[in-house]
Every structure is written in C-alpha cells, then in structure tokens.
Amino acid sequence: MREDYTSSQIFTTSVYILLGAGLGVAFSLKIAHSWWFWFLLIGMALGFGLGVWRFRLRFYEALDSIISSLLPWLGVFFLSDSIVNLKLSSLVASALTFLLVALYWYLDSHYKNFTWYRSGKVGFAGLMTAAAFFLVRAALAIPFSFVLSFSGKFEAIFSAITAFIFFLLIFNLSRQV
C-alpha cells in the first residue's frame, strides 16, 4: 500500500481502525463482556470502512493489508495469554494463528498461479486466510466454548456466517476482470 497511498492516509486509516477497536472493546465491557471479540471486530470494520471511504482506498487491497498485519498480533495476543494464565487453549489458538500467517504467506506468493482463480487480483490471500480463520473458530466453538474469545453457543453460528461472507467476497473478487 505504501506505493499507492501516502503515509498519512495509511496512518490515519490505521488510527481509525485502532480507535474503532478501542471503542468496540469499551462498548462490550459496558454491555456484554463475553462478546468483546465481535465488538472489537465491528469497531475495526467501522474504522476500516471510514478509512476506505475517506481516502478512496481500494477495498480488497486495503483489506488484504489489514488482515496480513493483524494476524501476527492476534497470535502474539493468544501466546501472551497462554503464558500469563497458563492456558493450553490459548497456546493452541496462537499456534493455529501462526499457521494461518504461514498460510497467508503461501497464498500471497502463489495465488496468481492458481488456475481456478482467474482474476489474479490482490486480496485473495487475505480473504482466504480470514475465511479459514473464521471456519476454524466455528469448528472449535462447538466443543470448546470456554475459550478466551468465544462468546457462547452462538459463536459457531456467527463465525460460520463471517466465513461465508469472506468466501462470498472471494467469489466476487474472482469474477472481477
């Protein structure tokens, strides 16, 4: 993104995303503490949307950038929780997140060679990695509803719907010429 946009546009969009995340978490602490992950995600999405709208950023390119930059931080968050609270579930979550980082790197370097992905547009790696992340969340939420960022019995449904949305975005991106 540094080649297409000014540093101030990227920085300001990042600030919007961080402010949205902070407001989402603050709101969740007042309303529904166990839903902090989803309120954080909604706040980040609103901040991201504001940055895309204000600076006319290309949606898929910006989304790819934000996903690739947030995954390592999420892995570090889970790793620190596993160390501080001695939680095996957080250690497993951090390992899975770091595997998703590796998946992103692989997809980012090879997506133009996939014959079934004809458009070759930027954004595929981030969208596919995010879809995989939410599919894994949906699968793990059923037997492990006690995990740090899971919000209860509806977690699997919300995660599956979010993964489906990311797959729809991939489908839309693949049809662009």
pLDDT-derived band at 99 (thresholds 50, 70, 90) equals very high
Across the range 58-77, mean pLDDT stands at 92
**What's the pLDDT at 112?**
73
Which tokens hold the place of 130? 């995010």
Top pLDDT among 16 and 152 is at 16
**For residue 162, is pLDDT > 90?**
yes
Q: Convert the pLDDT of each residue in 105-141 to its tens digit.
A: 999 888 777 766 666 678 889 999 999 999 998 888 8
SS3 state at 18: helix
**What's the pLDDT at 172?**
87
Q: Convert the pLDDT of each residue in 77-98 to its tens digit.
A: 989 989 998 888 788 889 999 9
Top pLDDT among 116 and 30 is at 30
- Cβ contacts of 172 within 8 Å, gap of 6 or more: none
**What's the pLDDT at 124?**
87
SS3 for the chain is: CCCCCCHHHHHHHHHHHHHHHHHHHHHHHHHCHHHHHHHHHHHHHHHHHHHHHHHCCCHHHHHHHHHHHHHHHHHHHHHHHHHHHCCHHHHHHHHHHHHHHHHHHHHHHHHHHCCCCCCCCCCHHHHHHHHHHHHHHHHHHCCCCCCCCCCCCCHHHHHHHHHHHHHHHHHHHHHCC
**What's the pLDDT at 3?**
74
**What's the pLDDT at 150?**
60
Mean pLDDT of the chain: 88
**For residue 177, is pLDDT > 80?**
no
